[in-house]
Structure 1
Amino acid sequence: MTVELALEGARVHYGPLEALHGVDLAVPAGHLTVLLGRNGSGRTTALRALAGTVRLTAGRVRRRGADVSRTPAHVRARDGLVFVPDRQAVFGTLTVAENVELAARSPVPPRQLPYPALRSLLARTAGTLSGGELRMLAVTRALLSPARVLLLDEPTQGMAPAAVARTYELLGEAVRAEARTVLLAEQRLEPGLRAATTVVHELRRGAVAFSGEPHETLPPRQAG
C-alpha cells in the first residue's frame, strides 16, 4: 500500500514534558486508519504533528515520501489535508450555513448535508449548538471540503448513538467511494468502525504499543 502520511522517530515536547517518544507510524493512502489510546497517550499530539499544528523536536513527518516536517500547517491544508481537532473545530460566531459554505467553498443545499439533523439548524449560530451538534458540523465541514486527507480527533465525542453510527458510515463511504485517506483518533475501536478500518495503531504513554489489522487481537492494556 502507498503511504500517504507517516511519522518517523517523531518526538514532541511541551516544555520539559515529552509527549511522543520516537513514534513511527504509517497511514496508507485511500484507507481508513484508527489511532487508539487513552487520554494522555499521545493520540492528539500525533495528529497535530501530522497536521503541522505542533512542531517536532526530533524525527520527520512525511507526505507521500516527501519530508514535510517544516511545512506550515496552512500549506499542508492548502495541499489537501484537513484536521478536525477535538475542540474549537468550527467558527462559533458564524451560522451553521456559513461554516458549511466556507468549508465547501460554495453554498450547499440542505438536502446535501450528510446529517439530516443539521438541516433545521442552518440559521443557528454555531456557538449555540450542543456538543454533539458541534461535532456533526465539524465532520460535515471536513467531508464537504475538497481535501483528500482527513484527520479527525474523536469525531463522535458527545454524539447520540445514531449519529455515531452515521459518522462511521460516512467516513467509510469517503474511503470506499471517493478514495480519500482518513485517520481518526478514538479511545476504542467500536464495532461500527471495525469493518471500515484497514490499519490500527495504539499509543500508550507516547509510544506505539501495537500496529496491525483490526481483526488481530490487541495486547492487554497495562494498568496506569
Structure 2
Amino acid sequence: MSVEIALRGARVRYAPLEALHGVDLAVPAARLTVLAGRNGAGRTTVLRALAGTVPLAEGRVDWGGADVTRLPAYARARRGLAFVPDQRAVFASLTVTENLALAIRQGRDPGPAVAGVYPALSPLLDRRAATLSGGEQRMLAVARALLSPARLLLLDEPSQGMSPETAARTYALLGEAAAGGRTVLVAEQALPPALRAEASVVYVLRRGAVVLSGEPWEIPEESSAPAVPDPRDDRPDEQRG
C-alpha cells in the first residue's frame, strides 16, 4: 500500500509538556485507518499535527512524498485535506446550508447533496448550527467533509454525541469514502466494532506514543469497545432531558 500522509519522528509540545514523543505513523492512501487511544493519549494532537493546526517541535510531516511540515493549515486544506476536529467543528452563526456551501463544489445544491448523506439534516437546512443538538452538529461537520472535494479526511471522534444508528451510518459512509479512493483517518477512544471490517490499519496510542499497530484482526478485543453513545443526543435541544 502506498502512503498518503505520515508523521516521522513527530514531537509536539504544549508549553513545558510534551504531547507526542517521536511518533512515527503512516496513513495508507485510499484506505481507512483508525487511530485509537484514551483521552490524553495524543490522538487529537496527531490529527492536529497532520492538519497543520499545531506545530511540530521535532520531526516532519510528509504528504504525497513531499515535506509539508511548514505548510500552514489553510494551505493543506487547499491541497485537499479536510479536518473535522472534536470541538467547534461547525460555524455556529451560519445556517446548515451556509456551512455546507463553504465546503462543497461551487454550483452544487447543498439540499439534495446532504439528503444523500444524512437525511435527518434535510429539514434543518435553514437552522443556524448553534441551535442544533450535539449529534446534529456532528452530522453537519462530517457531511461537510464528505461533500467536500478533499481527498484526505481527518476526523476526530466523528460519532461523538450520535445515536448508535447514526454512528453506524457514519462509519459506513467513511468506509464508502475509502472504497471510493479517498484516504480516511478516524480517531476514536477505541477501535469501534463497526470499523473492524472497514479499516486497513489500526494504531493504538498511549501517553503520546504508538504502542501497537497492525491490521484490525491483530488488535486485542479490549481495544475495540468504544463508549456507548447516548441515543438522545441526535434529538433537538428542546427535546432532550
Normalising by the smaller structure, the TM-score range is: over 0.9
Aligned to 1:154, which of 154, 157, 173? 157
What are the within-5 Å matches in structure 2 for residues 128-147 of structure 1? Answer: 128-147=131-150
Q: Which amino acid aligns with 1:135?
A: R
Q: Does the aligned pair in 2 maintain the 1:30–1:182 contact within 8 Å?
A: yes
Counterpart of 1:23 in structure 2 is: 23
- Measured after TM superposition, the shift of residue 56 of structure 1 is 0.2
- Measured after TM superposition, the shift of residue 189 of structure 1 is 1.2
Counterpart of 2:55 in structure 1 is: 55
- Measured after TM superposition, the shift of residue 58 of structure 1 is 0.3
Q: Which amino acid aligns with 1:34?
A: V
Q: Does the aligned pair in 1 maintain the 2:202–2:219 contact within 8 Å?
A: no
Q: 2:14 & 2:56 partners in 1: Cα distance?
A: 10
Q: Does the aligned pair in 2 maintain the 1:11–1:58 contact within 8 Å?
A: yes
What SS does structure 1 have at the residue aligned with 2:102? helix
Asked if 1:127 is matched to 2:135, the reply is no
Q: For structure 2, which runs of at least 5 residues remain unmatched after alignment?
A: 224-241
Counterpart of 1:173 in structure 2 is: 176
Counterpart of 1:78 in structure 2 is: 78
Aligned to 1:216, which of 215, 218, 221? 218
Distance 1:47 1:213, change over 3 A: same
- Measured after TM superposition, the shift of residue 219 of structure 1 is 8.7
Using the size of structure 2 for normalisation, the TM-score is 0.89
Q: For structure 1, which runs of at least 5 residues remain unmatched after alignment?
A: none
Q: Deviations over 1:70-104 (max 9, x none)?
A: 11111110000011100111110000011111110
Q: Deviations over 1:4-29 (max 9, x none)?
A: 01001000000000000000010000
Counterpart of 2:238 in structure 1 is: none
Q: 2:181 & 2:44 partners in 1: Cα distance?
A: 24
Q: Runs (4+) of structure 1 moved beyond 6 Å?
A: none
What SS does structure 2 have at the residue aligned with 1:215? helix
Q: Does the aligned pair in 1 maintain the 2:104–2:110 contact within 8 Å?
A: no
Counterpart of 2:199 in structure 1 is: 197
What SS does structure 2 have at the residue aligned with 1:54? coil
- Measured after TM superposition, the shift of residue 217 of structure 1 is 3.2
Q: Does the aligned pair in 1 maintain the 2:84–2:145 contact within 8 Å?
A: yes
What SS does structure 2 have at the residue aligned with 1:103? coil
- Measured after TM superposition, the shift of residue 190 of structure 1 is 1.4
Q: Does the aligned pair in 2 maintain the 1:60–1:67 contact within 8 Å?
A: yes
- Measured after TM superposition, the shift of residue 172 of structure 1 is 0.6
What SS does structure 1 have at the residue aligned with 2:100? helix
Instruction: Report how many aligned residue pairs link the two structures.
Output: 220
Q: 1:55 & 1:45 partners in 2: Cα distance?
A: 10
Q: Does the aligned pair in 2 maintain the 1:52–1:72 contact within 8 Å?
A: yes
- Measured after TM superposition, the shift of residue 192 of structure 1 is 1.1
- Measured after TM superposition, the shift of residue 218 of structure 1 is 3.1
Percent identity among equivalent residues? 67
Q: 1:63 & 1:123 partners in 2: Cα distance?
A: 37
Asked if 1:112 is matched to 2:122, the reply is no
Q: Which amino acid aligns with 1:8?
A: R
Task: Tell me the C-alpha RMSD between the 2 structures.
Answer: 1.3
